[in-house]
Amino acid sequence: MIEIIPAIDIIDGKCVRLEQGNYEAKKIYNEQPVEVAKQFEDAGLKRLHLVDLDGAKAKHVVNMKVLSDIASQTNLVIDFGGGIKSDEDIQKVFDNGAKMATIGSVAITNPCNLDTWVDKYGRDKIILGADVRDYKIAISGWMTTTDIDLFDFLIEKMQTGIRKVLCTDISRDGMLNGPAISLYKSILQLLAEVHIIASGGISSINDIEELEKTGVQSVVIGKAIYENRITLDQLHKYL
């Protein structure tokens, strides 16, 4: 059974969604992220992908209080990403209630940190963020696209112990035009042991069913829930 992970993206302490990572294309859905998290928990969901978009842009964690509030007021298993750059950042993230940390840019800019964190906290607590445009890795809140090939990147990082990979096709993020099925198939054909968390483009229950058929183990759903393309009741069969 595929794992359902709802997403809450934070700017200025509010629950928002972007389109293709464009900070100018911001839509505020709720000014109280804790309320949203409680709705997910009340619906029977167990997980939460919490993204500090301010932190991703600022290159340090900004919305720690939102993490702390959600962690203290729900029992959701939270993975937190956005702006985690230093030993202090990641320790604070765990101290404030996250059970996992999603690491993206640092895997490129300071790979030694990523290796250290996998050793220190265990590979089950570290999720590799692999955000791509045309199969090239993007960093810094998706504002910079590198020339690093996705598959080369994944092969290298899996040699260091990484197993969980949150992979987002940026061109699909927030667009409700379907997930990058062929992308995930290609990854799983190359690296059968990777735990793929699909993200971007989810628009319907059918999309989730198609992802499950490919062997994808988890899926992050954001805008489709907020726009009522997928209702929380529809997700019950995955709980």
Residues annotated catalytic, as ranges: 9, 131
Angle value at C-alpha 24, between 18 and 29, nearest 5 degrees: 45
Q: How many Å apart are CA 35 and CA 21, to the nearest integer?
A: 24
Parallel, antiparallel, or unpaired for β 195-199 and 218-221?
Answer: parallel
Q: Are 167 and 138 in contact (CB under 8 A)?
A: no
Instruction: Quote the DSSP letter at residue 238.
Output: G
Two tokens at 172? 């699909």
Q: Are 55 and 62 in contact (CB under 8 A)?
A: yes
